[in-house]
């Protein structure tokens, strides 16, 4: 997804930093219709354009008015509390998300996309069979990158987003609608958003969902919630659909090895989680 583009961009600049290639990069990024419609953060655009100008000036090529015009326009814009991030999918579609510009806002870290969600989304796009024609349950859906990417490219029969923070759920619903995945616009997959606390979710609720694939990204970060996470996973596996327990996939960024090891230690030996 986005990392592939950055690698390609770096290779192109190493081989050619002429005015033509720089202008083409500008048109495919800051001046791209997707970027104009759903602009990234002001800070990101300032840094990107400044680096692009620095690269171009180092090549001693003819000045590009378009570069300086773009930077001047961004310098005149104040940073807001929200921005967009867009990700290009292999199918040719794009996922655009409204996110917070701050890592922590409204009392939660759930209003931004974290690294583990990026990896899980990329893994899903390479393993579509895990999701095709299945009922997918996502724990701790956040702003929705992984789920929206799965719905766009992996063709599940239904997808259930779950989170516990009201502000996150509001942003998540907005992003689902932004990407045309509300049920009126996306008849191929039934999408729902549920407000569920891990410690309060019941086996009856999980049976009604009937998940055959369960995923989660960046949920193993706080020692205080590990116990609740393990309990809800145990309930999920007991509430099997069609007599078979669902496949469970957890994507984690290991910031604190002790926290991650605590999660693995608390898992019952009969619970097999793909991490």
Shared domain for 115 and 40, answered yes or no, is no
Domain count, the chain: 2
pTM for the full model?
Answer: 0.88
- Give dist(CA 1, CA 20) in Å, integer: 25
Residue found by looking up tokens 């923070």 in the block: 165
252 within 8 A of 220, measured Cβ to Cβ: yes
Shared domain for 138 and 20, answered yes or no, is no
Per-residue pLDDT for 270 more than 70?
no
Query: Residue 157 is part of a domain; what is its CATH number?
Result: 3.40.50.150
Shared domain for 106 and 173, answered yes or no, is yes
Q: Is residue 90 part of a domain?
A: no
Which residue range is the domain that position 215 belongs to?
102-269
So what's the pLDDT on residue 267?
A: 81
Q: Is residue 96 part of a domain?
A: no
Shared domain for 227 and 113, answered yes or no, is yes
Element (H, E) at 249: strand 247-251
pLDDT tens digits for range 55-111: 888 877 788 899 999 999 999 999 999 999 999 998 888 999 999 999 999 989 999
Shared domain for 124 and 255, answered yes or no, is yes
Q: Is residue 89 part of a domain?
A: no
Report the SS3 class of residue 188: coil
């Amino acid at each position: 997804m986005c990392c592939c583009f950055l690698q390609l961009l770096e290779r192109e600049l190493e081989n050619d930093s002429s005015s033509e290639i720089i202008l083409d990069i500008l048109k495919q990024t800051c001046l791209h219709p997707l970027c104009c419609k759903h602009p990234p953060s002001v800070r990101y655009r300032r840094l990107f354009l400044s680096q692009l100008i620095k690269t171009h000036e180092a090549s001693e090529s003819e000045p590009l008015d378009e570069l300086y015009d773009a930077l001047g326009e961004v310098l005149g814009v104040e940073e807001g509390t929200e921005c967009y991030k867009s990700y290009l999918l292999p199918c040719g579609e794009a996922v655009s998300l409204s996110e917070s510009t701050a890592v922590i806002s409204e009392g939660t870290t759930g209003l931004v996309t974290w690294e583990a969600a990026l990896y899980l989304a990329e893994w899903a796009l390479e393993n579509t069979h895990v999701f095709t024609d299945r009922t997918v349950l996502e724990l701790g859906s956040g702003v929705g990158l992984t789920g929206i990417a799965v719905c766009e490219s992996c063709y599940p029969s239904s997808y259930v987003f779950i989170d516990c923070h009201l502000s996150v759920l509001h942003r998540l619903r907005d992003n689902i609608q932004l990407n045309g995945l509300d049920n009126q616009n996306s008849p191929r997959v039934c999408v729902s958003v549920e407000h569920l606390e891990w410690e309060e979710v019941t086996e009856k609720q999980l049976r009604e969902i009937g998940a055959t694939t369960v995923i989660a990204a960046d949920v193993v970060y706080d020692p205080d919630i590990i116990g609740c996470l393990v309990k809800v996973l145990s309930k999920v596996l007991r509430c099997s659909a069609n007599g078979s327990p669902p496949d469970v996939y957890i994507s984690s960024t290991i910031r604190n090895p002790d926290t991650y090891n605590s999660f693995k230690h608390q898992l019952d030996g009969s619970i097999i989680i793909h991490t």
